[in-house]
Structure 1
């Protein structure tokens, strides 16, 4: 009994790539993820805030470490928001019915976003306090 070779799936094709070709294709997937994230209101709001806050970090920070903390904390919020959106999309793909594990997954994703926002806010409040009150 001989088996027929199966057509390579898109995931297999990506794994076979190497070098700059792999990087270019991966960048395309990343840009598609950012476009998909932009369709989410929360990500859009945070991205617009980031457009203001990241350049502001260069003015507010008093050295490269402070600038990295300020700008990095904003980018971490965006990253976690994208991960949360991915979790929600995966859960929604499974089905619309309510399930405790689905609720837990969505709640934990939301909690991760909240914690990142609190950390970002704390870093920015500390930097603003140091800049203007000290």
Structure 2
């Protein structure tokens, strides 16, 4: 089937990495930001990056405590992603996870916002 509404192509694996484990237990707005970044190249382009940025703002405002399962899934994703060649898209998702779950104990918002800007500019000029 070419147009599968249950498993759309814009949520397909990226370099062998899957989306579902990352968002199953994620806080709502963090999960939404991850989904927008995941699909940006195949669906919404730069607009998806703007939506992800807004979801990140809402996540920061709410400051929800991440469930254990979400942190476990994020760490598993990060472990796999660190061992694979990375695209800009995967790098942004990795930074979003580290910031969103505060996995390394440092404040990484400037680096994350810079990565979002870089990805948005690349999408706008068709370089990504």
TM-score range (shorter-chain normalised) is 0.3 to 0.5
Q: Which has the higher contact order (CA 8 A, sep 6+)?
A: 2
TM-score, normalising length: structure 1? 0.34
TM-score, normalising length: structure 2? 0.35
Q: Quick check: which one's helix share is greater? A: 1
